[in-house]
Amino acid sequence: MYRFLINLLIFTCVAFVLIFVVELSCRLLKVPKISHHNIYSKSQDLIPIINKNTILILGDSRLEWGIKPLKMLETLTKDSLNVINMALPGSNGLDILIYLKKNNIYPRLILMGYTPNYGRNKNHGLDLISYSKPNAIKEKIKYSLKQTLYLQDQSIKEYIINGFPYFKNHKYDAWGGVIVNEYGDYAKRLKEQIVIYNTYKNSFDSLGLKKYCTEMNTMIKIFKKNSSVICGIYMPVSKRIFNIEASAAYSKPQKINFDRFYDFSNYTYTVEQNRPDSIYFYDGSHLSPEYSDVFSEKLVGYISKSYPDIK
Amino acid sequence: MLFNSIDFAIFLLIVFFSYWFLTNRNLRFQNILLLVSSYFFYANWDWRFLFLLIFSTVLDYYTGLKMSEGKTHSMKKFWLWLSISVNLGFLGIFKYYNFFAASFAEAISHMGLQANPWTLKVILPVGISFYTFHGLSYVIDIYKDRIKPEKNFIDYSVFVSFFPLLVAGPIERATHLLPQIKKGRIFDYTKAIDGLRQILWGLFKKIVIADQCAEYANLIFDSSADHSGSTHVLGALFFTFQIYCDFSGYSDIALGTARLFGIELLRNFAFPYFSRDIAEFWRRWHISLSSWFRDYLYIPLGGSKGGTWMKVRNTFIIFIVSGFWHGSNWTFIIWGLLNALYIMPSVLFNTNRNNLDIVAQGKYLPSMKELFSIGITFCLTVFAWIFFRSASLGEAISYISEIFSRSLFTIPDIMPKTLFLFLILFIVIEWLGREQQYAIANLGLNWPKAVRWAAYYAIILFMYYFGGSEQQFIYFQF
């Protein structure tokens, strides 16, 4: 038995030494570390605190990056309301709606993102997870390991193949808002986004969108019945991205029965001053951190105009 | 608690140390610890179903005792059928009720009638198909006087619920496992090291091969309309390796884990993709289930004793039932039926026991004839897996029809080079280790320790770097 334990111990210690050597070498060689989206730890922290006084933001990264719950909270005068941004990269938000319905949680207002690509957006299975303190701690540890250790992700591989990874860092606030930094300048980032959205356009999933609309309508019916308000929101995008999306098979959510649909898709060059896109956008598709603060404040104005009790 | 999760590693470490250090090698304490740990492990999936597991355990334990006390044959028969009906009743309700209700509604809709069947909104208790079969084999063996009923409830409960086999087998027999549970166990260094090696290999199969294959197989099967015929072939191949590495990887982890506690479980896989005919494949694939069906269904139905017609009938029955055991979907039934058809020539011409030895035993390479037979058997298996993987029969047929289209001769639009390299490496290692219990059982045993350890570290590193996104074990759903 002791021989077994000693061997196991030595094996484990050597493994740790090897890990340490690799990690140290990467740091000495200044290998850029990939920064990751925080999906599950964020969910563990925020989903359990959603309640009937919540203004809940759901959808994809455009909303996650572009709507700052802290700014909205500063602008709102009603203390009883809280704002939670549960939008996530590549998400269509349906999983969270399913979870809320299952647990009879009906927020005051849900702002649901929309683009024609929501038919292809996957959810992250957040309705299938159990939310608890131990799970929250576990996810927090997992995320911080992923953010810190090179051996926890593909940073080294990425470095060898591409030199620099896509994401530099993520700074999350307590209510789910995030500031993301990527490598490269605006032009490079816009180019990447154009490639992505052209691919989406060329493989437009109309069946997926139809299915999504049907599922959303079912959920909207249930949430409305339980006195939640669900509004759709098309986040502002740059001209280049707008042109791609506007030419997709259909860009308006004619088939989703939102209580109200805020179409801000061409907002920056119609309502706002028509300044260069790089002022408003981080990469043509997501709002810049500075403008997202401005936009969040304005959004509260639009909402309270439509729903005077939300101020 | 998945076998490939940190949670399980911590759980295993705690149970292992408590088992060997806290129980003072007292068999009773060891068994109590195994039972409590197993129930904790199961409750981690869904604590509500723990009651179902305990109920099933109590039922079979009690009927076993009652059967042995039964003075008349009819009393014994009564207890046997009570156990069978309740066990299969639960299985039927949880696993098959909705399928039958929907199929009935569909059938009568073809006659112009309409039915809105009452469907159950229940989730399938994990492992129910496995522990039900444990219990059934136990009561049937008592009825047939093959074993005496177990009087110690703790020992019997460990037999049913031992955590390495609880959720996806191997399906154990009382004759094999119970004597081990009742016998004092002392720590065996060689066995424990071998167990760890088998766990490592199982994890490699699951994390590196199965999970990576799953990503591509899912991509191709879920959007099959977007892909060419050649990509469909690749998708079927990926699924073929996914299901093998997923399930045999799970079995390796289960066997290795049990060995850490001084318990030997039944072997579940013996390199099935190197089989030279379908009969051999079925002697090497999910062995504990195939032998269960042979002993408790095929032989009681008359086996091969009643002439050709009986053999054919019984073969079809066990393959259809085997397909149905996997799930309530017509795709599984067709998969079973296809395998029955594949095996028919061997059954009719009595060649089903032609290949009992290991292919190319003692040689590095197979003969051309062996290679050809392995190739044909493999292709047939891949074809059948398409039905197993598809969500519906319609999907399977459209998937297959795309394979037999002109686009079969185009270059696949998905070519994961790293995965191909891993698959080649994996096939080579499996081939070299095919005479062992598992592929790396003897690999490097004569190498210097530093080199052997370097190989283990390399495997761990591969898991870190090339592991696909974490997927649940396929057989947990059965």
- Give the phi and the psi of residue A229 in degrees, each rounded to 5: -105, 130
Residue A160 contacts B, CB cutoff 8 Å = no
Residue A151 contacts B, CB cutoff 8 Å = yes
Cβ of B465 and A18 within 8 Å? no
B465/chain A closest Cα distance in angstroms: 7
Query: Across the interface, which of B193, B196, B464 has its CB nearest the CB of A151?
Result: B464
SS3 call for A172: strand
Comparison of pLDDT for A8 and A254, the residue scoring more: A8
Angle of helix B48-69 relative to helix B128-143, nearest 10 degrees?
10
Which chain A residues are closer than 8 Å to B20 by Cβ? 1
Residue A203 contacts B, CB cutoff 8 Å = yes
pLDDT at B360 over 80: yes
For position B401, what pLDDT does the model report?
92
Cβ of B226 and A203 within 8 Å? yes
pLDDT at B115 over 70: no
First to last CA, chain A: 69
The model's pLDDT over A106-136, given as tens digits with 9 standing for 90+, comes to 999 999 999 888 887 778 889 988 899 999 9
Q: For residues B424 and B316, what is the distance between their CA atoms, to the nearest angstrom?
A: 35
The model's pLDDT over A171-196, given as tens digits with 9 standing for 90+, comes to 999 999 999 998 888 998 999 899 99
**What residue of B is the nearest CA neighbor of A5?**
B189
Which chain A residues are closer than 8 Å to B48 by Cβ? none
Residue A15 contacts B, CB cutoff 8 Å = yes
Q: For residues A157 and A296, what is the distance between their CA atoms, to the nearest angstrom?
A: 38
A263/chain B closest Cα distance in angstroms: 31
ipTM: 0.73
Q: Mean pLDDT over all residues of chain B?
A: 89
Residue B189 contacts A, CB cutoff 8 Å = yes
**What residue of A is the nearest CA neighbor of B45?**
A130
The model's pLDDT over A130-144, given as tens digits with 9 standing for 90+, comes to 899 999 999 999 999
Residues above pLDDT 90, as percent of chain B: 61
Handedness of CA B122, B126, B130, B136 (dihedral sign): negative
Cβ of B460 and A11 within 8 Å? no
pLDDT at B468 over 80: no
- Report whether B150 contacts B63 (CB < 8 A): no
A151/chain B closest Cα distance in angstroms: 7
For position B470, what pLDDT does the model report?
65
For position A254, what pLDDT does the model report?
58
Tracing tokens 């959810």 back to the chain, one arrives at A123
For chain B, give the secondary structure using H, E and C. Answer: CCCCCHHHHHHHHHHHHHHHHHCCCCHHHHHHHHHHHHHHHHHHHHCHHHHHHHHHHHHHHHHHHHHHHCCCHHHHHHHHHHHHHHHHHHHHHHHHHHHHHHHHHHHHHCCCCCCCCCCCCCCCCCCHHHHHHHHHHHHHHHHCCCCCCCCCHHHHHHHHHCHHHHCCCCCCCHHHHHHHHHCCCCCCHHHHHHHHHHHHHHHHHHHHHHHHHHHHHHHHHHCHHHCCHHHHHHHHHHHHHHHHHHHHHHHHHHHHHHHHCCCCCCCCCCCHHHCCCHHHHHHHCCHHHHHHHHHHHHCCCCCCCCHHHHHHHHHHHHHHHHHHHHCCCHHHHHHHHHHHHHHHHHHHCCCCCCCCCCCCCCCCCCCHHHHHHHHHHHHHHHHHHHHHHCCCHHHHHHHHHHHCCHHHHCCCCCCCHHHHHHHHHHHHHHHHCCCCCCCCCCCCCCCCHHHHHHHHHHHHHHHHHHCCCCCCCHHHHC
B428: left (phi over 0), alpha (psi -120 to 50) or beta: alpha
Residue B192 contacts A, CB cutoff 8 Å = yes
Stretch B206-217: mean pLDDT, rounded? 92
Cβ of B187 and A14 within 8 Å? no
Which chain B residues are closer than 8 Å to A137 by Cβ? none
Tracing tokens 């729903």 back to the chain, one arrives at A307
The model's pLDDT over B290-344, given as tens digits with 9 standing for 90+, comes to 999 999 999 998 887 878 888 899 999 999 999 988 887 889 999 999 999 999 9
> Helical H runs in A29-165?
40-46, 61-66, 69-75, 94-102, 133-148, 155-162
For position B118, what pLDDT does the model report?
61
For position B407, what pLDDT does the model report?
83
Cβ of A3 and B457 within 8 Å? no
Active-site residue numbers of B? 326
Which chain B residues are closer than 8 Å to A11 by Cβ? 453, 456
Q: For residues B170 and B130, what is the distance between their CA atoms, to the nearest angstrom?
A: 8
B368/chain A closest Cα distance in angstroms: 40
**What residue of B is the nearest CA neighbor of A157?**
B465
Stretch B415-424: mean pLDDT, rounded? 91
Comparison of pLDDT for B107 and B277, the residue scoring more: B277
Largest CA distance in chain B: 75
- Give the phi and the psi of residue A58 in degrees, each rounded to 5: -125, 155
Q: What pTM does this model have?
A: 0.78
Q: For residues A85 and A69, what is the distance between their CA atoms, to the nearest angstrom?
A: 6
For position B477, what pLDDT does the model report?
62
Q: Which two tokens stand for residue B413?
A: 């639009």
pLDDT category, A252, cuts 50, 70, 90? low
Best A6, A7, A154, A203 residue to mutate vs chain B (most B CBs within 10 Å): A7
What Cα–Cα distance (Å) separates residue A87 from each residue in A111, A112, B26? 10, 9, 55
Handedness of CA B217, B423, B470, B443 (dihedral sign): positive
Residue B456 contacts A, CB cutoff 8 Å = yes
Which residues, listed in sequence order, are joined to residue A109 by a DSSP beta bridge? A55, A229
Q: Which two tokens stand for residue A88?
A: 């996530």
Strands A109-113 and A54-58: parallel
Residue B193 contacts A, CB cutoff 8 Å = yes
Strand order, beta sheet including A54-58: A82-85, A54-58, A109-113, A229-234, A260-263
B118/chain A closest Cα distance in angstroms: 21
Which residues, listed in sequence order, are joined to residue A112 by a DSSP beta bridge? A58, A232
**What residue of B is the nearest CA neighbor of A12?**
B457
- Give the phi and the psi of residue A92 in degrees, each rounded to 5: -110, 0
Cβ of B457 and A157 within 8 Å? no
Residue A128 contacts B, CB cutoff 8 Å = no
Residue A132 contacts B, CB cutoff 8 Å = no
Cβ of B465 and A157 within 8 Å? yes
